[in-house]
Structure 1
């Protein structure tokens, strides 16, 4: 199952549709169970997605491109959401313009464009959900998208989760949920490197 830039577009739409109506709320509340508030979580999304795009453009073999991106301190919630969405769109454009054979550093393994876009989808969906929960809302992403992300980033456990709702499975894979027959994962790492080499 391949994760594509179209999947990132779908993740962006899911997050924007869920959080857009809440831009008038107080985003200084904690984002779900995170130590961060909703503002910081949205800012993190923008920085992370731009970082993934930069990795694919510069293609360093052993480090991250040395920069930090951040929204301005007085950015509104709507502007923070715009920052995260813009970063996601930049990543999608870079993925579409990059050869599938390109590789760049990520701590979870030297990643290809599919790995970066899958990680981008996971970041968007999970942190979008953190923000939504902090604001008393819920995110409801497309299950086929979640299934593709789980299959790509967690190939070691994906087959054993075939009977689990893919959105719940993504939460379990990232240590955010328990399953009836599986304890919450205390330690986990997704796989950025291409499956099969």
Structure 2
């Protein structure tokens, strides 16, 4: 995947500002296309997002969102608002250039590095510029080059791709601004800054909002085959709400949707029953919809999840429990190096120690 960098962001800033200035003589008090905000309020919101992204990344803020508010003087003309967007976009580009690849900062959609913040900035610029100019009569504007594809690849790995509309049409559909044949228009959507890549799949964390929707019978913001979501995924999603109610919810240590890259369908769930216990042990579980079984996707999903988990300092062992007669699940765990650790009424227990545990023991 080609990362979104400052040059692509700079290009998007220039194109967006040029488009906004071209309609600066029109009435910006009308609603932006598809939004409740006016065109003016949408542009001020855009400038606030870009400035906030720049501040988060420049400050390497990891604990939450900075208490920052960006506004414009009440009678600022549209040309001045376009200047505000340009300045805030250039600030973000500077922050992206300055940040090393290991820099991370907080965002509600997951922590991100400079490429993630560049992609978020480009997404806000492209989409909200479209909202404004579309409302003012320019219905064919879109960013040039591969901007939309870069945004999709970085932030929307779960979104189906449009054949006829190309990357821009796919991005509009992913954000509820257009339709894709055979699929309902998105009413709620989000992007994923920290999706976990695997071979043939990508894992997207099922956060509290998506989990509540799945538990209630919805799709959680994903596109599923006709036989999904599975019961296991819905049950795991319900546990997210329960954990949140009792104060035990930990981002990253819950369920993830398994998205098949070939068609961007969610084909199952994989995840943790909770954060590691005081001994550093965490339990994993997974399920696939019937139509996706026997393809190796469960193995690759669990491999990707385990790779992320063992990158966290709190984890020492992964555990799993499988029913005695579930031979495919036994095979998945065996392929990944889990070893049997006994059995009980709930099934056969497996464990996978931290890969470097043996080295640590030898050195002690």
1:151 aligns with 2:159: no
Query: Are 2:17 and 2:85, in contact at CA under 8 Å, matched by a contact in 1?
Result: no
Tell me how far apart the structure 2 counterparts of residues 61 and 40 of structure 1 sit (CA, whole Å). Answer: 28
Q: List aligned pairs for 1:58-77, cutoff 5 A.
A: 58-77=59-78
Matched residue, 1:140: 142
| In 1: Cα distance, 2:124 partner to 2:65 partner | 17
CA–CA separation in structure 1 for the residues paired with 2:30 and 2:13: 22
Give 1:87 deviation, angstroms.
0.2
Larger radius of gyration: 2
Equivalent residue, structure 2, for 1:53: 54
**What TM-score, normalized to structure 1?**
0.93
- Give unmatched runs, 5+ long, in structure 1: none
Q: Could you say which structure has the greater relative contact order, defined with CA pairs below 8 angstroms and 6 or more residues apart?
A: 1
How far residue 56 of structure 1 moved from its aligned partner, in angstroms, is 0.5
Over residues 76-125 of structure 1, what are the superposed CA-to-partner deviations in whole Å (9 max), with x where a residue is unaligned? 00000110111001000110011111111100001111111101001000
Which structure's residues are more often helix, by fraction?
A: 1
Counterpart residue number, 1:82: 83
- Whichever structure has more strand as a proportion of its residues is 2
Deviation, 1:165, is 1.0
Deviation of the 1:194 alpha carbon: 6.5
Supply the distance in 2 between the matched residues of 1:49 and 1:193 (Cα, whole angstroms): 19
Per-residue deviation, residues 49-93 of structure 1 (Å, max 9, x unmatched): 000000011222221111101111111000001101110010001
RMSD of aligned alpha carbons: 1.5
How many residues were matched structurally? 195
* Aligned position for 2:352: none
TM norm structure 2: 0.52
The 8 Å contact of residues 143 and 167 in structure 1, kept in 2 or not, is answered as no
Quick one: distance in 2 between partners of 1:195 and 1:149? Answer: 16
1:10 equivalent in structure 2: 11
Contact 1:47 1:68 in 2 (8 A): yes
Runs of 4+ in 1 over 3 A off after TM superposition: 194-197
